[in-house]
Structure 1
C-alpha cells in the first residue's frame, strides 16, 4: 500500500515562525529476501569519509564488532577522491585546537599541517582501520535497500551489492557518515535540502572542483603576497590564502563559474592544489548534474591556468597535473534531528548538557549563484554540538554523523568542517556501544542525562576535547539584540570575521531595501512578486520618514495622507514600540535602529501571511 507522508518542517525564528512542507513518497514497504546470505554485527558504519573512519575506529575500540560499508574502492572520501587537502581548523576559547581524539591522531599521521599529501592521508586512514581487529571493511559495496521494522521506527536489516554479491546485514546500531545522508534517506529519515529552512527553496551553496598544478615557483608566490599584487595574502611553506584581487581580475569562461580568493595547499613534491573554483547550478544529489559540473570545471581550470600563467608570478611554467574524480559538494541534505542546531547557538557560544564536540570555525556561507555573495555570518569563539543533533527523527537505532547531521543550514556553515565531523563521529561510535550495552535506543539515550554523562567521560578518557564552558556573546543584553537574532536567523545579517555589525553607524537606504526585499522573498513569495522593488545603490542614509514612506508603498498601500507616517506605520504594526520611541524625529537611522525596524516589518509580514 502506497502512502504519502508530509514532514512538517518548522523554522522557529526570533519572534515568529515560518512553516513549510517537505513531501516525499514512501513506496511499498521494503522487504529483503530472507534467503540472502546474512552477516550480523554490533555496529554498521555506512560511508568511507574521514567521519566514517572516526566512527568505525571509535566503535571498534569500544569493543563492538563493526562493519564499514564503503561505495568507493578506498577510504578518505572528499579528501582523497575530491583532492581537498586544505584543512579548516577550529580554535577554542583558549586558542587550542577545538577538535582532538581520533582527528588529532590522524592529523599527527599527516604531519600536523593545514595541508597534507593525499597519499599520506589515504595511508593514515587505511592504517587506522586496519589496525582495529574488530573492523570488517567492505569496499565497493553499495547499500541498495533498507528494511524497517513493522512500526517503521528502526532499521531491521539492510541489503548490499558488492564484491561478495548481494548480501544481507543486520546490526544492533547503525551510523550514517555519508556526506549527504544517503543511508538515512533510504531509511526514510525526514530532511530538508540546502537552505529551505530559511525560505530559500532549491538553493544550495556552490560546488568546487579542486585544481591541481605542477611546476609552480613558490618563491615568487611569496613575492606576490608581499607586493599585494592581488590584495592581502598569507604565504607559508605549505599553504597560502587570500589573493582576493583575483575575484575581479579573472573573467570566467563559463557563466556558471567564478573564482573566489585562493586557498592554496602545497605538498611535498612541490605540486599545489587550489580551492577557489566555484561552480553554480549543480544538484549535488544527481550524478548526471555532477558529471556535467566536473566537465565544466575541467574546461574552466584550463582557462584559470592561462590566466595565472599570464598574470600571477610563479605560474609562468605551471601545468595541470590531473583532475579530481569528484566534486567538493558543500551541502545537500540536512537531516531533521531531535535538536536542530540553530545559528543562534553558534552566535551565542552556547554549551549543552549533552555536548559531544566543539565547533568554532567561522560560519562560512558560500554563494549560491554567480552574482551572489560569499559571506561570513560570524566568527564564533566556541559552541557545543549536542548529541541530540545526531539523532534523526523517526529512526531510533540510527545516528547521522557528518555535515548532513541535524544542523540548520546556517549553523552548518561552521559545523560542516571535517575536524568537527570526525569529533561528532567518534562520539557516535562510542554512543552506539553504550546504547546497546544499556539496552536503550538512541532516542531514549538522548534524554538520559546519566548515560550522556558516561558518554562524555568516555570521550574525555580517549583524548577528546570536551569540557563545560560559559561565554558572553556578541551584543548580549543590548536593546536591539532580539532584532539582530531575528535577522541573522533569517540569513540577512552578517558580522564577518571581525564580529562587528557596526550598530552605531548610519543605516543606508540600500541596506534597508536589500534586507526587506530578501526577507519578504523568503517569508511571503506572493507578496514579494507584487512589490515593485526599487534599485538602490550608494551610501545614502535612510531617514525615518523615508522608511515610513517605503512601508506605506510596499505594505499598507494607502492613499491617505498622514502628518506622521512613522506613527501611522507603528499603528499598523510595522515597527515595535522601542524603535518608535527612540526615533522621535525625522533623522537618519542608526544601524541598531534599522535592524530593529526591518525585524518588525518581517514579523508583521509573517503575521499577515499566516
Structure 2
C-alpha cells in the first residue's frame, strides 16, 4: 500500500510539472508577480513630536538602505533616530522619489521550478518589504507606504524629516577620529546636538563619513579616471497604459516582460538627442504603476555633479526639456506607445555613483570573477556588473555576470574613523564591482547588518573595527542576522568555464584594470582570440592611466615604423618592446622578454604558457600585462 501511494503521488507530481511547463508563461505573466492593484492613497509621514538628546544609533538617510538599518537596529533593542537630510516628504528616496521602481535583483544560483517564484540572495528586511509590493517593479506609492508602515511600527525609532543640515560630531584622534553623534539643523532652523553610540551613514554619497575624515575615491579615480562617473537618469512617467498596451510590450522584438516589468526596445539607442553631449537614450527599463501609468528608466544625462545642488538642478532641467522629444520619438517609431502621453518626470535624479569609501576591505573585480565568499560576509550579490556610460561617446559595458559573491562586513567600516558604518552604494567597493554591488537589495542587506552590528558592538564595548577583526564576534553577528531571516550561505555551483582557462590569472587582472569586458555571457573577452600590436598598446596605456607615475614612457612609441599595427599579430618581442617603452627603459636591448624576466617583472610561468611567440592570443597578452602590473607596478589585482 505504501509503494502504491508513492506511485500515485509520483504521477500527480509529473502531471503538475507538465501543466506548469505548458502553461508556465501564461501563469508567469498573470501571477508570477503580484501585478497591479487598486491605487493607494499616500500616507502622510510625520516626524517624532520630540527628539531626545541621545540615542543608541543615528541613521542618516531615508533611502531603502537607511530604512533597513534603522529597522534592524530598532529590532535589536536599540533606540534609533532616523534622519532625512534632503527635504523629503516621504520615505524611500531613490525608489519613491527617484522613481526607480524596477528592482535590480540578486537571484540565487538555485531557483524554484515554479515559474514566477524567485529565490533571492538578499532576504531579511528586503524580502519582508518586497512581499508587500507588486513584484519585480512596484508602484511608488505602495513602496513609500510600506516603508513608512514598517518604520512607524517600530517603537524604538524616532523619525526626523526635512532637516536642513546634518554633520558628524567628531572627536579627533589617532589613528582614528571618533564620531559621537550628529549636529542637526532642523526644518525650522533650530540647532540640536544629538549624541549616539553609533552612526550609520546611509546618505548614499558617504556625506557623514567624508565630513568625519574617512578616505574615499571619487567616481573612477581608482582606475585612473577621477573626472568620470556613471551617468545620472531622470525617470519619465507615461499614462494610458491599458492591459492590452502592457501585453504588447513583451511582444516587441528583443524585449521581455512580466506582470510588472518590461526590459528591451534596444532601438531606442538610435534616438537623436536635441542635446547630444549631455543626453542620450539606451534601451528601456519599464516599471508598471497601479494607475495605468509606467515609469521609464532609460535617459542618460552626463556632466552632472551629484554633490552640487546647482548642477543637480541643471541636470533635472536638461532631462525635463528632453523628455517630450523622447516620448514623441517613441510614439512615432513604436506602435506600442502611439496612444501614451508624457505626464511627468521624477522629483529626484537617479544617481549611480559619487564617492567610494576606502574601508577595512575594498571589494574588487577579482572577488566577483572568483565568486568569492568571506568569513565576514554579511550580504551576497549576483547582479551583472553594469557599468553605465560616463559621457556621450562612452557606450558603457557589462563587465561580467557573477554567480554569487560575498560582501564582507569590513566594507562597511571606514578607515580612520570609529563609531561609524557606511551602507549602500558608497560602501568600500572598487568602482567596477560597484556596478553590481550598488543595487538596492544588497544595500538593504548591508543596512540590516549595520543595525545588528551596532547592537553587538555596544554590548561588547568594542569598536566596529575591533568587531571586524574578531572571528568570534563576526560569527556572532552572522548568527544574529540568520536568526533575523537573512540567508548567509554560499550555494554550491560549478566553477565558471573561464576560470579553468590557462590564461585566467591574466584575464582576471585585465578585467580588474578595465582592459576587457565579458558581457552577460562571460565570453566577450575572447581569451583565445588573436591579439595585435595596436591592442596591446591600448592595454598598456590603460595600465599607465591607473599608475602614470611608474610608467613615464609612451607605449605607442613602440609602434613607430610599423604599418597598420591593428593588423599585425602581437609577438612576444613586440609585447616586451611595448612594456619596456612604457616603463621608460632606454636602450633597445633592455626591451626584451628576457630582460624583463631578469628584472622579475615577467615570470617563467607566464612565458611558458605562450604557445607561439610570434602570434600571441588575448589571454597570453593578459598574462604579460598581469605580470607587469603585479611585479613592476605593485598593483593589487588579485
Which of the five TM-score ranges fits, normalised by the shorter chain? 0.7 to 0.9
Partners of 1:537 and 1:272 in 2: how far apart? 50
Q: For each residue in 1:272-295, what CA deviation from the matched residue of structure 2 results, as whole angstroms up to 9, or x when unmatched?
A: 111111111221211111111111
Match of 1:523 among 538, 547, 560: 547
Q: How does 1:188-587 map to 2 (within 5 A)?
A: 188-216=213-241, 219=244, 226=251, 228=253, 232-468=254-490, 472=495, 475-476=498-499, 478-500=501-523, 501-509=525-533, 511-524=535-548, 527=552, 531=556, 540=567, 542-544=569-571, 547=575, 576-583=603-610, 587=614
The 1:91/1:227 distance shift into structure 2, 3 A limit, reads closer
Match of 1:48 among 62, 67, 80: 62
Is this contact kept in 1: 2:287–2:294, CA < 8 A? yes
Is this contact kept in 2: 1:58–1:427, CA < 8 A? yes
Residue 140 of structure 1, CA deviation = 0.8
Partners of 2:553 and 2:584 in 1: how far apart? 14
**Which residue matches 1:88?**
104
Higher strand share: 1
Residue 422 of structure 1, CA deviation = 0.5
Residue 512 of structure 1, CA deviation = 2.9
Residue 575 of structure 1, CA deviation = 5.2
The 1:38/1:114 distance shift into structure 2, 3 A limit, reads closer
Is this contact kept in 1: 2:107–2:121, CA < 8 A? yes
**Which residue matches 2:45?**
none
Question: Would you say how many aligned residue pairs link Structure 1 and Structure 2?
Answer: 567
Partners of 1:530 and 1:384 in 2: how far apart? 37
Match of 1:115 among 109, 117, 137: 137
Unaligned runs of 5+ in 1: 1-36
Q: Is 1:79 matched up with 2:101?
A: no
Residue 300 of structure 1, CA deviation = 1.6
**Which residue matches 1:180?**
205
Is this contact kept in 2: 1:510–1:536, CA < 8 A? no
Partners of 2:136 and 2:581 in 1: how far apart? 52
Secondary structure in 2 matching 1:169: strand
Q: For each residue in 1:126-145, what CA deviation from the matched residue of structure 2 results, as whole angstroms up to 9, or x when unmatched?
A: 10000111110011124433
Secondary structure in 1 matching 2:337: coil
**Which residue matches 2:25?**
none
Deviates more, 1:129-138 or 1:501-510: 501-510
Partners of 1:536 and 1:605 in 2: how far apart? 30
**Which residue matches 1:593?**
620
Partners of 2:290 and 2:271 in 1: how far apart? 30
Secondary structure in 2 matching 1:79: coil
| TM-score of the pair, normalised by structure 1 | 0.85
**Which residue matches 1:104?**
127
Is this contact kept in 2: 1:210–1:327, CA < 8 A? yes
Partners of 1:449 and 1:368 in 2: how far apart? 40
Q: How does 1:3-152 map to 2 (within 5 A)?
A: 39-71=53-85, 72-95=88-111, 96-111=119-134, 113-151=135-173
Is this contact kept in 2: 1:350–1:470, CA < 8 A? no
Q: For each residue in 1:308-360, what CA deviation from the matched residue of structure 2 results, as whole angstroms up to 9, or x when unmatched?
A: 12111122233221121111110111111111122211111111111111111
Residue 442 of structure 1, CA deviation = 1.0
Deviates more, 1:114-123 or 1:67-76: 67-76
The 1:585/1:141 distance shift into structure 2, 3 A limit, reads closer
Secondary structure in 2 matching 1:497: coil
Is this contact kept in 2: 1:250–1:307, CA < 8 A? no
Partners of 1:579 and 1:457 in 2: how far apart? 43
Is this contact kept in 1: 2:234–2:319, CA < 8 A? yes
Residue 565 of structure 1, CA deviation = 6.7
Partners of 1:221 and 1:589 in 2: how far apart? 51
Is this contact kept in 2: 1:521–1:528, CA < 8 A? no
Deviates more, 1:73-82 or 1:578-587: 578-587
**Which residue matches 1:158?**
182
Deviates more, 1:45-54 or 1:297-306: 297-306
Partners of 2:204 and 2:429 in 1: how far apart? 13
Partners of 1:259 and 1:334 in 2: how far apart? 26
Residue 599 of structure 1, CA deviation = 3.1
Secondary structure in 1 matching 2:104: coil
Partners of 1:555 and 1:320 in 2: how far apart? 55
Partners of 1:104 and 1:209 in 2: how far apart? 27
Residue 38 of structure 1, CA deviation = 6.2
Unaligned runs of 5+ in 2: 1-50, 112-118
Secondary structure in 1 matching 2:266: coil
Q: For each residue in 1:72-111, what CA deviation from the matched residue of structure 2 results, as whole angstroms up to 9, or x when unmatched?
A: 2321111111111110001122232111111011111113
Is this contact kept in 2: 1:78–1:326, CA < 8 A? yes
Residue 210 of structure 1, CA deviation = 0.9
Secondary structure in 1 matching 2:518: coil
Q: For each residue in 1:409-466, what CA deviation from the matched residue of structure 2 results, as whole angstroms up to 9, or x when unmatched?
A: 1121111100001011011111111111221121111122222222212211111111
Is this contact kept in 2: 1:245–1:261, CA < 8 A? yes
Secondary structure in 1 matching 2:182: strand
Is this contact kept in 2: 1:254–1:300, CA < 8 A? no
Partners of 1:558 and 1:531 in 2: how far apart? 15
Partners of 2:429 and 2:579 in 1: how far apart? 34
The 1:510/1:213 distance shift into structure 2, 3 A limit, reads farther
**Which residue matches 1:8?**
none
Secondary structure in 2 matching 1:432: helix
Deviates more, 1:190-199 or 1:525-534: 525-534
